[in-house]
Amino acid sequence: MDKFELEKNMPIPLYYQIEQFLREQISSGELKPGDQILTEEKLCLKFGVSRATVRRAIADLVYEGLLERNYSKGTVVKQPKIIQGLFEATSFTSDIMKSGKVITTKILEFRKILADKFLCQTLQIDKEDYLHFIKRVRYVDDIPICVEEIYLSVKMLPDFSKELFTEEGMNQSTYHVLQEHYGILVKHIDDTMSAETAGDKDAILLDISSNSPVLLRQRISYDSFDRPLSYSNGRYIININFSFHAKNV
């Protein structure tokens, strides 16, 4: 990482480039939990930027839970917070495959959108931030069982793309893709479930009648540092003829 240089002619904020430098040091293990990062003065000298730029980068990483200010040691890498709830945050894809059934996924939309107020609050991002939006239908033994929408931060996953996913196998699992390509583990989830009726568009995708009952599951997934990774909502056919745990996506 000593050869890292800021791209000062690029339209990417300098503070964000410094954030990426520190993130890479942490994710690569060069900086471990409890290690002190370079002081503000040294970071200013290293990158030739103002102290205000460095402070913005550090403040963002403190807010995200990657760094913490220690009065005796300065700014250090924060110990990851691992939360284990009543149920493990396991993959819906994995559980269905283990049951001996065939699960497949068809992605209908994959694009970037501007976050609205609800998603900004839910994912703890700024109002001008963008999100990856995924809409997909999931099938078990060729029967559509769920229409799902997923939102993930572009800032956290800048190169996230549709090409990382497959229609079959483990690479249809968002959790699996996050772990395999980014080293990100989902450690904690918050689920909210309620009953509602299917709208016309969802009814067509699920091959059911309009106003048929469906199970709405809204989920926020968190990483090892207790940062919100994604928000999703899925509408499931209630009377599907197989058993699955409501804890899984």
Structural domains of the chain, ranges and CATH numbers in brackets: 14-77 (1.10.10.10), 92-237 (3.40.1410.10)
> Using CA atoms, how far apart are residues 167 and 208, in angstroms rounded to an integer?
22
pLDDT band at 242 (very low <50, low <70, confident <90, very high): very low
Q: Which amino acid is at 67?
A: L
Between 24-28, 137-141, 245-249, the lowest mean confidence (pLDDT) is in: 245-249
What are residue 192's phi and psi, to 5 degrees? -130, 125
Vertex 99 angle, CA 179 and 219, to 5°: 50
Q: What pLDDT sits at residue 243?
A: 44
Work out the percent of the chain whose per-residue pLDDT is above 70: 87
Higher pLDDT, 20 or 242: 20
User: From CA 102, how far away is CA 43, in angstroms rounded?
Assistant: 52
Predicted pLDDT of residue 137: 96
Rounded to whole angstroms, the Cα distance separating 84 from 202 reads 33
- What local confidence, expressed as pLDDT, does residue 26 receive? 87
- Which of 211 and 138 is assigned the larger pLDDT? 138
Could you tell me what percent of the chain has a pLDDT over 90?
41
Structure-token pair, residue 27 = 């994710």
Q: pLDDT (tens digit, 9 = 90+) per residue, 17-72? A: 899 899 888 888 888 888 899 999 999 999 999 999 999 999 888 887 789 887 77
- Rounded to whole angstroms, what are the CA distances from 104 to 50, 65, 92? 51, 35, 11
CA distances from 99 to 45, 93, 107, 155 (A): 57, 10, 23, 36
Indicate the DSSP class of residue 7.
Answer: -
In sequence order, which residues have a C-beta less than 8 Å from that of residue 71 and are 6 or more positions away?
none
**In the sheet where 213-222 sits, what is the strand order?**
103-114, 130-140, 143-153, 228-237, 213-222, 188-197
pLDDT of residue 91: 64
Beta bridge partners of 185: none
Instruction: Output the six-digit token pair for 216.
Output: 């709405």
**How confident is the model over 73-127, as pLDDT tens digits?**
789 988 654 333 333 445 667 667 776 788 899 999 999 999 999 999 999 998 8
The 10s digit of each residue's pLDDT in 186-232 is: 888 888 888 888 889 999 999 888 888 888 989 999 988 888 999 99
